[in-house]
């Protein structure tokens, strides 16, 4: 009986050991395959996970963290990711990312920010991330499994959790990888004083402590049209204090200054690999972040920051029905660069990560990666493409053209901007609710008479546009305030028009974001509109197109055109807009052309 039992126990133990070995072998094969696909070194470690480690903050609040560590005992450099979306959220694949880096010899920490999920305290967007981030970096740098070198990593809000503590100068912080984010929260969400109603409302609702229903059941079309804007959260059955605070602070000032870093760059000593996408709404801000770090970073290391821009949306998407950027466009291909960045700064590996130019970007349509010493590239020349028509540039069927020849005369174009019938957002940067970011066919937009369309003749040669795009616009309005929604597009030989870059400009902000200046009725103003940065090859036979409209909704909130506060009032008025393009008022699109 004892002999039989002994055999059973030995057999069971053998099976358990065999299954464990099989699991280890399967794990190793899985990560070896992933490393091979991503072009990474073969994984050197199996990974052990320690969940829900409570990290104390200076005020006694404890924040919950999961630690992904190499199974072998020892000291390792640390990568910290702090998230408000839940460290166990399968949609964000934290465990995949953490295990990938841990297998390469890092302790990877995923922490819930204050007041979210398993962490203690109360959550309020951005307000605690500077001190809590600093305290967590200090903690990570002093543990017995840490080498004392800490890097930070993450997208969007996780990117803010990197920038905000950086000026506090933890001696353990050695490198950052902020992705699709910026140093200044205000223009991220309220761009030129224009509330990004779609993404802001959905983001607040999906992350509210209490909400009336699942986000999947929301009628977003109705929600984003709610006026006044401050009631939009109430219409969803979720009164959200932070959302209301944002509406009630539409201008730069002390409320937003608490959570900005762009004025503290001289105190930042860690270098940053700043990553963004041509179809992300933080793109232009990220480029400015890079320029500040290069010019005014608080150490030689900080001034060695690098900018990396690909053909991505805020969600890192690179595949689209209306545009094909090739296999090299995938964001996953950049994991190798990110690992090399950490290996250089945290492990001291001389891997050549800084040997390329500090500016690395993907040129769309050419579908190739480039490296330059500066942005825009030194060889860029700025060319004027003048708006011309005989007064009938309405819709793609109109007579609007873009020409490198300056106009001598020409009838102005006009359209009616109606806040109750806004021009819809098609493509662009907004990712939440019903909107989809990226390049999309503009047929729906360009068929409207309240959209002016100006197009070049078919190009005689490939034309590369790389750098900041600008529109100098001479225009008048019948309203006290109005918006100009502008869009750069590519028109292919088959007539399909696809958006490349866009912006919305609020006329009352032309002098200052802090103090708006109402328009005088029908007075002609010269507006200088920063359309944004891009790198796009317009191929021979294709055409370059400019759209001008009164709105891009709901990516951007509507201008109610009364001159009153757009967040707390509901009345709207129509406005007649007139665009001039003659000898005295030569409206023109300024394109950054790079010789090829």
Give the pLDDT confidence score for residue 1 in this predicted structure. Answer: 47
Residue 446 phi/psi, 5-degree rounding, is -80, 0
What are the tens digits of pLDDT across the range 486-495? 999 999 999 9
Report whether pLDDT(209) > 80: no
User: Are both 443 and 484 inside the same structural domain?
Assistant: yes
SS (H, E, C) 499-532: EEEEEEEEHHHCCCCCCCCCCCCCCCEEEEEEEE
Report whether pLDDT(144) > 80: yes
Residue 89 belongs to a domain: yes
Whether the CB-CB separation of 560 and 477 falls below 8 Å is answered with no
User: Are both 27 and 68 inside the same structural domain?
Assistant: no
Give the pLDDT confidence score for residue 11 in this predicted structure. Answer: 54
Which of helix, strand or coil describes residue 537?
Answer: strand
Average pLDDT for residues 441-467, to the nearest whole number? 98
Catalytic: which of 92, 204, 314, 542? 314
Domain count, the chain: 3
Give the pLDDT confidence score for residue 212 in this predicted structure. Answer: 59
Q: Which residue has the higher pLDDT, 395 or 191?
A: 395
Average pLDDT for residues 395-413, to the nearest whole number? 95
User: Are both 540 and 452 inside the same structural domain?
Assistant: yes
Report whether pLDDT(290) > 70: yes
Residue 305 belongs to a domain: yes
Q: Which of 89-98, 204-213, 389-398, 465-474 has the lowest mean pLDDT?
A: 204-213
Residue 257 belongs to a domain: no
The answer for residues whose C-beta is within 8 angstroms of residue 69's C-beta and 6 or more apart is 47, 48, 49, 50, 76, 102, 107, 108, 145
Which of helix, strand or coil describes residue 62?
Answer: strand
DSSP strand pairing (368-372 vs 381-388): unpaired
User: Are both 168 and 313 inside the same structural domain?
Assistant: yes
CB atoms within 10 A of CB 248: 12
User: Are both 69 and 151 inside the same structural domain?
Assistant: yes
Report whether pLDDT(119) > 80: yes
SS (H, E, C) 90-131: HHHCHHHHHHHHHCCCCEEEEEECCCCCCCCCCCCCCCCHHH
Does the global pTM surpass 0.95? no
User: Are both 293 and 385 inside the same structural domain?
Assistant: no
User: Are both 12 and 146 inside the same structural domain?
Assistant: no
SS (H, E, C) 71-94: CCCCCEEEEEEEECCCCCCHHHCH
Which of helix, strand or coil describes residue 279?
Answer: strand
Report whether pLDDT(523) > 60: yes
Report whether pLDDT(14) > 90: no
Q: Which of 192-206, 266-280, 477-491 has the lowest mean pLDDT?
A: 192-206
What are the tens digits of pLDDT across the range 525-583? 999 999 999 999 999 999 999 999 999 999 999 999 999 999 999 999 999 999 999 99
User: Are both 526 and 543 inside the same structural domain?
Assistant: yes
Residue 240 — left, alpha, or beta (φ > 0 → left; ψ -120 to 50 → alpha)? beta
Average pLDDT for residues 462-467, to the nearest whole number? 98
What are the tens digits of pLDDT across the range 75-110? 999 999 999 999 998 888 899 999 999 999 999 999
CATH number where 149 lies: 3.40.50.1820
Catalytic: which of 280, 289, 343, 413? 280
Residue 72, token pair as written in the block = 């072998």
User: Are both 416 and 495 inside the same structural domain?
Assistant: yes
Catalytic status, residue 280? yes
Residue 530 belongs to a domain: yes
CATH number where 413 lies: 2.60.120.260
User: Are both 430 and 459 inside the same structural domain?
Assistant: yes
For the chain, how big is the Rg over CA atoms in Å? 26
Whether the CB-CB separation of 245 and 189 falls below 8 Å is answered with no
DSSP strand pairing (273-279 vs 194-195): unpaired
Average pLDDT for residues 201-215, to the nearest whole number? 79
Residue 396 belongs to a domain: yes
Residue 359 belongs to a domain: yes
User: Domain of 456?
Assistant: 381-594
User: Are both 33 and 54 inside the same structural domain?
Assistant: no
The CA–CA distances, whole Å, from 477 to 16, 483, 508 equal: 78, 10, 11
Catalytic status, residue 156? yes
Give the pLDDT confidence score for residue 188 in this predicted structure. Answer: 83
Residue 88 belongs to a domain: yes
Residue 73 belongs to a domain: yes
What's the CA gap between 137 and 162, in Å, rounded?
10
Whether the CB-CB separation of 406 and 583 falls below 8 Å is answered with yes
Report whether pLDDT(7) > 70: no
Catalytic: which of 156, 160, 365, 502? 156
The percentage of residues in the chain with a pLDDT greater than 70, rounded to a whole number, is 93
Strand pairing partners for 76? 146
Report whether pLDDT(27) > 80: no
What's the CA gap between 301 and 321, in Å, rounded?
41
User: Are both 423 and 493 inside the same structural domain?
Assistant: yes
The answer for residues whose C-beta is within 8 angstroms of residue 42's C-beta and 6 or more apart is 32, 35, 36
């Amino acid at each position: 009986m004892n002999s039989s039992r002994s055999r059973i126990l030995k057999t069971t133990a053998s099976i358990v050991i065999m299954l464990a070995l099989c699991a280890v072998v399967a794990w190793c094969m899985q990560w070896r395959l992933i490393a091979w696909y991503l072009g990474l070194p073969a994984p050197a470690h199996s990974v052990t996970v320690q969940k829900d480690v409570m990290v104390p903050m200076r005020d006694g609040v404890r924040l919950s963290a999961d630690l992904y560590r190499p199974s072998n005992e020892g000291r390792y450099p640390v990568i910290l990711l702090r998230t408000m979306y839940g460290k166990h959220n399968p949609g964000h694949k934290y465990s995949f990312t953490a295990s990938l880096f841990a297998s390469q010899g890092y302790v990877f920490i995923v922490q819930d920010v204050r007041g979210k999920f398993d962490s203690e305290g109360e959550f309020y967007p951005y307000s605690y991330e500077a001190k809590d981030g600093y305290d967590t970096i200090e903690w990570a740098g002093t543990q017995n499994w840490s080498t004392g070198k800490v890097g930070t990593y993450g997208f969007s809000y996780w990117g803010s959790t990197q920038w905000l503590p950086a000026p506090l100068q933890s001696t353990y912080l050695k490198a950052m990888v902020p992705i699709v984010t910026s140093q200044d929260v205000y223009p991220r969400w309220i761009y030129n004083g224009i509330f990004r109603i779609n993404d802001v409302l959905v983001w607040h609702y999906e992350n509210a402590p209490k909400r009336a229903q699942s986000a999947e059941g929301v009628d977003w079309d109705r929600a984003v049209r709610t006026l006044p804007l401050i009631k939009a959260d109430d219409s969803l059955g979720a009164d959200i204090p932070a959302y209301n605070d944002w509406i009630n602070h539409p201008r730069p000032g002390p409320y937003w200054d608490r959570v900005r870093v762009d004025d503290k760059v001289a105190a930042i000593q860690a270098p940053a690999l700043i990553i963004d996408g041509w179809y992300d709404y933080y793109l232009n801000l990220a480029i400015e972040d890079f320029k500040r770090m290069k010019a005014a970073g608080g150490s030689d290391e900080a001034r060695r920051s690098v900018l990396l821009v690909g053909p991505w949306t805020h969600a890192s998407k690179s595949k689209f029905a209306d545009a094909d950027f090739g296999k090299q466009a995938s964001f996953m291909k950049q994991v190798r660069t990110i690992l090399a960045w950490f290996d250089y700064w945290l492990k001291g590996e001389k891997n050549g990560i800084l040997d390329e130019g500090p500016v690395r970007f993907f040129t769309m349509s050419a579908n190739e990666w480039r490296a330059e010493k500066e942005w825009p590239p030194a060889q860029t020349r700025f060319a004027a493409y003048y708006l011309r028509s005989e007064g009938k540039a309405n819709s793609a069927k109109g007579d609007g053209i873009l020409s490198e020849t300056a106009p001598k005369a020409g009838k102005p174009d006009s359209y009616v901007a109606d806040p109750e019938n806004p021009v819809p957002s098609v493509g662009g940067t907004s990712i939440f609710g019903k909107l989809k970011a990226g390049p999309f066919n503009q047929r729906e937009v360009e068929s409207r008479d309240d959209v002016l369309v100006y197009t070049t003749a078919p190009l005689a040669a490939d034309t590369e546009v790389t750098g900041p795009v600008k529109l100098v616009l001479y225009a008048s309005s019948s309203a006290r305030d109005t918006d100009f929604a502008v869009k750069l597009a590519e028109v292919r030989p088959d007539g399909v028009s696809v958006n490349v870059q866009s912006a919305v400009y609020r006329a009352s902000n032309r002098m200052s974001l802090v103090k708006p200046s109402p328009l005088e009725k029908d007075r002609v103003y010269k507006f200088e509109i920063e359309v944004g940065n891009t790198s796009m090859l317009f191929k021979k036979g294709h055409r370059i197109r400019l759209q001008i409209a009164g709105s891009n909704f709901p990516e951007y909130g509507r201008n109610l055109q009364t001159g009153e506060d757009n967040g707390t009032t509901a009345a709207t008025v129509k406005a007649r807009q007139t665009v001039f393009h003659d000898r005295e008022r030569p409206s023109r699109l300024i394109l950054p052309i790079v010789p090829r």
